[in-house]
Amino acid sequence: MTAPTPPMRRWHWRNWPVLVKLLGVLLVPTVVALVMGGLRIVDQAGSAPSFDGVIAVAGVQEQLSGVMGALQEERDVAAAYVAGGRGEGRTALEAEFAAVDRAVTEARTAAAVEELEDAGFRGALDRLGGLSQLRQSVLVGRGPVGDVVSDYGATIDRLLEVDAVLARQLDDRAVSRWATALHALVSAREQVARQHALILPALIVNEIDTATINEVRAAGVRLQAELDAFTSALTPDERARYGEAVTGAPEQARQRIVQLVVDRGVAEQPPATPPLDWVARSAAVIDPMLSSEQALRDQLGATAVTLRDAARATAGWNAVILLFALAFGVVVTFVIARSMQVPLRALRRAALDVADKQLPAAVAGVREGSTPLVVEPVPVRTSEEIGQVARAFDAVHFQAVRLAAEQAQLRANVDDMFVNLSRRSQGLVQRQLKLIDSLERSEEDPEALDHLFQLDHLATRMRRNSENLLVLAGTESAKRSGPPVRLVDVLRAAVSEVEQYQRLVLQPPPGVLVLGRAAGDLVHLLAEVLDNATLFSPRDSQVTISSRALEDSPVVIEVNDRGVGMGKAELMEANERLATSPTVDASVSRRMGLFVVGRLASRHGIRVTMRRGLDGVGVTAAIALPPRLVRPIESVADGLPDSAPVPQVRKPAVDGRARRDAPAAAGVNGNSASAVNSGDRAGENGLDAESSEDRAPSPPPGAASAPE
């Protein structure tokens, strides 16, 4: 382990706790900021919200203007309805009622949001509640049209008073004149609309009385006063911009009609002006007024935004000045921050280097026995929290390497134990097989010979179990590089190693050869699959072995049983183990076949997968051979039975006589020579008993459950 570094002075600034360092970073600039400029910045920034209030008031005024416009429309329709004798037009009038109600609701909502609903504003909107009586008198009353226009005018006048109050709240000189001009224009529009509402019924009935004439003249006087107030609030350039829209040719044409109607009324003559002409003349004046109102509101809002931004900019400049005062604090902050950043960055780099390079290299070296247990310390020499973390990290690093070394040593010892046990067991089993073979040759009693055959199969399975231990230890048997072997011989050899070989059904395989270097391991792999399939399926059922060619593999061997099957999760887990060849642990001992099949398959690039069996019954194990292990039979010599011996094939038989005398001993499924041909026994095809060591370990298949 690394030697401890000598501690630095306790109160050295590099050894301050992290919290103290952070306070040191923040303390000086905070104090300077509060003392030098906090109050000034707050004072400057505080003026900006007042201009937000200007924008809010302008928004409420716009809502009020909308209410007045809706009321003016309702007044026009109501006047025409009354003038027409309250006969037609009720539907249009009720539509105007609904439009006004919506506008009032929106105005109340806007005022509530902007917190501008004072007593005057509420009173004006509350007065609109009396519209129900006015509307009732319009619909079913008997009053003259002049009274209707006057009643609507009184309601609108109340709204104009509220608009004037709101305009006076905008006391900033830069925006007050815009507010004054806007209110004057709204009032002027009301006078134009009032004259329109007074004259339209007279034109409909082609008669105007003296009271209406007086109201028209009074509205004209008020109109002129509002226009004078409007123009006086504007600069010459602004008068030129807005004057034409308000007092230009359309207004003059409208005034001529007003004067004509008044003059003919005084002379007790009918107005003689078409109502539609009057409506068009009024609209030609009111529409530009509405556009000018919107332009003035936009200008008012833009001015308020400009002033607000200017106030905020002033506060910002004050903040910039304050930043210069904080320069000394920044220097102190930088020094302290560096004292934290340097060791933290070093610790981070060291941690990543250990995780990505040093620790994996040390573990690999320990497993190979070539790397001593040396841990390079993190280059952080302080004794505060960061330094303590660095020392703790060094300790963790050392313990990780030490534990990896111990684990590697333990695994090596276990592997050696597996190898020794396997070699010893193989020797004993091989001697046992020779003795059983000798007894089989000299035995005449069929029953005794059958028992010897059972011992023969059990011994063969014990030998394969010993070979499995070699696979667990990661040791490969010495490979024999012989000639290719027919696939049918490989399958028969695998069948002969299964205890319950009578239940196996071998369907004719393709005529291909398996390379000699892989034949032994393939026999081992298939034997594990077949053994598992027979163990986990009913004893009265058959296990089918079929072979076929696919696009991505020259040969796929399928083993299908009729057992209880496996669940979806179990199949996924088994296939994952077959594909990844997991590390040896306690679970491997419970599912040795699965591990062995996976190891053997990965050794030769064989793909083994398991899935549900036919009709959802049992499990089907598919063994796909890669193209490099298989080639077609190209000559007569390749197809001869003795073209290449299959390593260590133990031949199944039904009775002693068949075993000793018949070249084709008991076959699979009870058919002679259906699975194994004569001469495939160990020793009869040129292979001695020790050839069992030429087979490599194999991965597990998927019979009725994962191989045990």
pLDDT at position 683 is 33
Eight-class DSSP state of 477: P
Strand, helix or coil at 543?
strand
Tell me which of 195 and 325 has the higher pLDDT. 195
> Could you tell me the CA-to-CA distances from 326 to 329, 476, 681 in Å, in that order?
5, 74, 96
pLDDT of res. 542 = 92
CB 204 within 8 Å of CB 275? yes
pLDDT for position 669:
37
Per-residue burial over 664-687, b if 16 or more Cβ lie within 10 Å, else e, is bbbbbbeebebbbbeebbbeebeb
pLDDT of residue 703: 34
Does residue 324 carry a pLDDT above 80? no
pLDDT of residue 119: 47
Give the span between the Cα atoms of 252 and 285, in whole angstroms.
9
Place of tokens 């020793």: 683
Sign of dihedral through CA atoms 551, 553, 555, 559? negative
Q: What is the mean pLDDT of residues 464-485?
A: 71
- The CB-based long-range contact list for 368-374 (8 Å cut-off, 24+ gap) reads 373/398, 373/401, 373/402, 373/405
Binned at pLDDT 50, 70 and 90, residue 427 comes out as confident
Report the mean per-residue pLDDT for the chain: 76
Q: Which residues pair with 611 in a beta bridge?
A: 620
| C-alpha span between 91 and 145 (Å, rounded) | 19
Q: Rounded distance, CA 702 to CA 574, Å? A: 8
The yes-or-no verdict on residue 480 having pLDDT over 70 is no
Q: What is the pTM of this model?
A: 0.44
> Distance between CA 71 and CA 561 in Å, rounded?
90
How many other CB atoms are found less than 10 A from the CB of residue 7? 12
- For residues 446 and 441, what is the distance between their CA atoms, to the nearest angstrom? 12
CA dist 464 → 382, 426, 441 (Å): 61, 9, 23
Question: According to the model, what pLDDT value does residue 7 have?
Answer: 55
Domains of the chain: 52-317 (no CATH), 479-694 (3.30.565.10)
Q: In what order do the strands lie in the sheet with 512-514?
A: 485-486, 512-514, 630-632
What gap in Å lies between CA 372 and CA 417, rounded to an integer? 25
> Measured between alpha carbons, how far apart are the two ends of the chain, in Å?
44
pLDDT on residue 78: 86
- Confidence bin at 92 (pLDDT 50/70/90): confident
Confidence of residue 123 (pLDDT cuts 50, 70, 90): low
Tens of pLDDT, residues 611-664: 998 788 889 999 999 988 988 887 544 544 443 444 444 444 434 333 433 333
Across 278-293, average pLDDT: 87
pLDDT of residue 18: 64
d(C-alpha 666, C-alpha 454), whole Å: 13
Cβ-in-10-Å burial (0-12, 13-18, 19+) of 8 comes to: middle
Which amino acid is residue 605, in one-letter code? G
Q: How many CB atoms lie within 10 A of CB 430?
A: 20
Decide: 289 and 189 in contact? Cβ < 8 Å: yes
Determine the pLDDT at residue 31: 79
| Whether pLDDT at 127 is above 70 | no
Query: Which of these ranges, 66-70, 90-94, 121-125, 258-262, has the smallest mean pLDDT?
Result: 121-125
pLDDT > 60? residue 670: no
Q: How confident is the model at residue 676 (pLDDT cuts 50, 70, 90)?
A: very low
Question: Three-state SS for 609?
Answer: strand
Whether pLDDT at 558 is above 90:
yes
DSSP string, 492-518: HHHHHT-TTGGGEEEPPPPSEEE-HHH
- Of 460, 452, 456, 471, give the one whose Cα is nearest residue 426: 460
Q: Which two tokens stand for residue 87?
A: 């006969």
- Would you state the pLDDT for residue 623? 92
Structure tokens of 561? 């049983």
- What average pLDDT does range 207-219 have in this prediction? 88
| Contact assessment for residue 291 and residue 226, using Cβ atoms and an 8 Å cutoff | no
What percent of the chain shows pLDDT beyond 70?
Answer: 76
Cα–Cα distance for residue pair 454/430, rounded to 1 Å: 16
If one compares 229 and 664, the residue with the highest pLDDT of the two is 229
Q: Which residues contact 332 (CB under 8 A, 6 or more apart)?
A: 24, 25, 28
pLDDT tens per residue across span 504-519: 999 999 889 999 888 8
Q: How many helices (H) and strands (E) does the chain have?
A: 23, 8
Does the pLDDT at position 559 exceed 90? yes
Q: Are strands 512-514 and 555-560 parallel, antiparallel or unpaired?
A: unpaired
